[in-house]
Amino acid sequence: MAKAVITRSRAVLRQPGSAVLQAGGWALLYLILAMVAVLQVLPLIWLVFFSLKNNQEVFNLSPFALPLHPRWGNYTKVWTEGQIGHYFMNSVWITVTAVILTVLLASMVTYAITRMRWRNRSLVLGLFMTGMMIPVHSTLIPLFSLFSDFNLKDHPLSVILSYTAFNMPITIMILLGAYYALPREIEEAAVMDGCTVNRMFFRVVLPMTISVLTTTVIINMIYNWNEFIFVNTFISSDHLKTLTVGVQNFVGQYSTDWGAIGATLVISMLPIVVAFFILSEQIMEGVTAGAVKG
C-alpha cells in the first residue's frame, strides 16, 4: 500500500505542470512564513514607537503611528533617574550565575542518569520531571518561609537558587536526547587511555554536547531575565532588584510615565534579541541534537 502511494506520487510529479504546482506550493509556503514573521516583528516595532512618545501621544495617536517628536530622552531618563543601569547589571550577574549553575548541575545529573548504571536512576529522573508540573505560585509561601529560616530573604542567593531549581527539569529534559545519542565507543576509548570519570565529563562529554548546551543556556537566560515573581517576593531592598521589577519605578499612584516604561522594556529586550541572533544556528543545532538516535 505504501509503495503504491509513493509510486503514484512520483508519477504525478513527473506529469507536465507538476513543476508549476510545486513552485506555487513553495510560493504559498513562503508567503505564509512571511506573514508569520511580520506578525512576530510588529510588537517589537510598536514597542520602539511606544518608547519614543509621551503620555499624550500614547493615548491620542494610533499605536503604530510615528511619534511626532521622537523623545530619545526617555532612554536617558530611565538610565539615570530611574536607576535602570543598576537594575540592568543586577539582572546580568544574577542571570549569568543562575544559568551557569543550572546548566552545569543539569549536565551532571543527565550524565549520571544516562551514562552510568545505578539503582533507582529512573525514579530520580521521574522526580526531576515531576518538577515541571509544580506551579510556581504554589511554592512562594514555602520558599519564603524557608529562606527566612536560613536568613536568605532579601538576598540574591534566594533568587538564584529558585531559578536553578525551577529550570533544572526542562534543562535535563532537553539534554536527555543528546546524551542518549552520544556514542559509548568514545567513552570506552577514553577509559582505555586512563581517563577518570570527572575528566571524561569535562574534557570529552561537555565539548560533544556544546550545541544542545547553547540551547539550554538561551532558554534559561530568557526565563531568568524576564522573571518577575521571585524577585518581587524575595527581594525588598531597592539596590538588589532586577530590571523587570525596576520598571515599577515609573508607575505612580496618580501618574505613569508610559514613554519611560517603553524605553525600559526596549532596554530589557535588547540582550535577549542580540543573543538569539548571534547564537541562532547553535540553537537550531541544539534543538535537533539527539532527536534521532543511532
The residue-averaged pLDDT of 140-158 equals: 92
User: Residue 190 above 60 pLDDT?
Assistant: yes
Q: Output the nine-digit C-alpha cell for 178.
A: 543528546
Q: Output the nine-digit C-alpha cell for 126.
A: 521521574
The residue-averaged pLDDT of 208-221 equals: 88
The residue-averaged pLDDT of 123-140 equals: 88
Cα torsion through 135, 107, 153, 95, rounded to 10: -90
Q: Looking at per-residue confidence, does 93 or 189 come out higher?
A: 93
Predicted pLDDT of residue 169: 93
Burial 10-24 (b: 16+ CB within 10 A, else e): eeeeeeeeeeeeeee
Predicted pLDDT of residue 288: 62
Q: Looking at per-residue confidence, does 108 or 29 come out higher?
A: 108
User: For residue range 222-267, what is the model confidence (pLDDT) as tens digits?
Assistant: 899 989 899 999 998 888 989 888 877 777 655 678 888 888 888 8
Q: pTM of the entire structure?
A: 0.79
Lowest mean pLDDT among 18-27, 46-55, 212-221: 18-27
Q: What are phi and psi of 16, to 5 degrees?
A: -60, 135
Q: What are phi and psi of 122, to 5 degrees?
A: -65, -35
User: For residue range 12-33, what is the model confidence (pLDDT) as tens digits?
Assistant: 445 555 565 577 778 888 889 8
User: For residue range 56-91, what is the model confidence (pLDDT) as tens digits?
Assistant: 888 887 777 888 888 888 888 888 877 888 899 999
pLDDT grade for 5, boundaries at 50, 70 and 90: very low
Predicted pLDDT of residue 202: 87
The residue-averaged pLDDT of 146-170 equals: 93
Mean pLDDT score of the chain: 82
User: Residue 277 above 60 pLDDT?
Assistant: yes
**In sequence order, which residues have a C-beta less than 8 Å from that of residue 159 and are 6 or more positions away?**
94, 98, 230, 231, 234, 235, 242
Predicted pLDDT of residue 9: 47
Distance CA 34, CA 270 (A): 23
Predicted pLDDT of residue 215: 86
Predicted pLDDT of residue 7: 53
The burial of 250, by beta-carbon neighbours within 10 Å (0-12 exposed, 13-18 middle, 19 or more buried), is given as buried
User: Residue 285 above 50 pLDDT?
Assistant: yes
285, 263, 206: which is closest to 77 by C-alpha?
263
DSSP 256: B
Instruction: State percent of the chain over pLDDT 90.
Output: 23
Domains and CATH numbers, the chain: 2-51 (no CATH), 83-288 (1.10.3720.10)
Ramachandran bin of 151, using left for φ above 0, alpha for ψ from -120 to 50, beta for the remaining angles: left
